Chain A
Amino acid sequence: LAKTTQPISMDSYEGQEVNITCSHNNIATNDYITWYQQFPSQGPRFIIQGYKTKVTNEVASLFIPADRKSSTLSLPRVSLSDTAVYYCLVGLDTGRRALTFGSGTRLQVQP
C-alpha cells in the first residue's frame, strides 16, 4: 500500500486557486489516486479520482505527472466553505479493500 505525504496545513484567501500536492513515491502500477474532503464532524466526501495525466470535474482538477509519484489537487477560486481537511489516498489495501487515511491537509480559507 503506497504511503502518502502531504502538507499538514495550508492557508489561502477567498478567490484564490489552491494546489495541494501529495507525494506517493511507491505507487503501484494498478493504483488509482483518490482525494476526499472532510468537514468537522462529517464523513469524508469523495472529490476526485484519477490514474494519470489530468482529471477535471465540477469541483476540482487532479494533475498527475507521467511518473505518477505525486499528484496535485487543484481547487479553483476557493471560498470560505472550502475550509476542510483534504485526504490523498493511493491504492486500496486490496487484501482488505480498506482505505488507509493519513493525517490529511488542513486548508484554512480566510476572507
Chain B
Amino acid sequence: DAGVTQSPTHLIKTRGQQVTLRCSPKSGHDTVSWYQQALGQGPQFIFQYYEEEERQRGNFPDRFSGHQFPNYSSELNVNALLLGDSALYLCASSLAQRSSRETQYFGPGTRLLVL
C-alpha cells in the first residue's frame, strides 16, 4: 500500500517564474492538504482540497492555487515566485472525518529553492 507520494523531490526556480507541485494521496484517502515549511519552523497550512474543491485556506496569497483531480491526486501551483517562497512543500492526505481524530499522513515533500 503506497503512502503519500510527491513530485518532484527538488526544484530550483528563479524569481517571477511559476511552479507546479504534485501529490498522490494514500490509498483510500479523499482529502489533500498542502503545507509550507520554512527552514527551522513547523509546517504552515496553505489549503485543503476535498471533492475536487478548495474547502479551506490558510493565510497565503492568491499566488498559491491548487487543484484536485477525480482520482484524489492534487497539484499546488505558485505564480510569480518570490525568494521567500523557498521552502519544503508538504502534502498530507486524510479520510474526511470532521473531528480531531482525523489523521493526516504526510508525503516526503518537495524542496523548492527560488533564486
Judge whether A57 is part of the interface by a CB distance below 8 angstroms: no
B99 to A94, Cβ gap below 8 A?
Answer: yes
B42 to A97, Cβ gap below 8 A?
Answer: no
B110 → chain A, closest Cβ, in Å?
Answer: 10
| B15-73 residues at the A interface, CB under 8 angstroms | 31, 33, 35, 41-45, 48, 55-58
Report how far A42 CA is from B90 CA in the complex, Å: 9
> Interface size of B by Cβ–Cβ distance < 8 Å?
33
Report how far A52 CA is from B103 CA in the complex, Å: 17
Report how far A104 CA is from B43 CA in the complex, Å: 10
In the complex, the number of residue pairs spanning A and B with C-beta atoms less than 8 Å apart equals 77
B85 → chain A, closest Cβ, in Å?
Answer: 17
Q: Identify the stretch in A13-21, A30-38, A67-75, A76-84 within 8 Å (CB) of chain B at 4 or more residues.
A: A30-38
Q: Which residue of A lies closest to B98 (CB)?
A: A94
A97 to B102, Cβ gap below 8 A?
Answer: yes
What secondary structure prevails in chain A residues at the interface with B? Answer: loop
Report how far A90 CA is from B105 CA in the complex, Å: 16
| B70-115 residues at the A interface, CB under 8 angstroms | 88, 90-92, 94, 96, 98-109, 111
Write the residues of chain B forming the contact surface with A, with a CB cutoff of 8 angstroms.
4, 31, 33, 35, 41-45, 48, 55-58, 88, 90-92, 94, 96, 98-109, 111
Write the residues of chain A forming the contact surface with B, with a CB cutoff of 8 angstroms.
30-32, 34, 36, 41-46, 49, 51, 87, 90-104
Between A and B, 11 residue pairs with Cβ closer than 8 Å are A41-B109, A43-B106, A43-B108, A87-B42, A96-B45, A96-B48, A96-B56, A97-B31, A98-B48, A99-B35, A99-B45
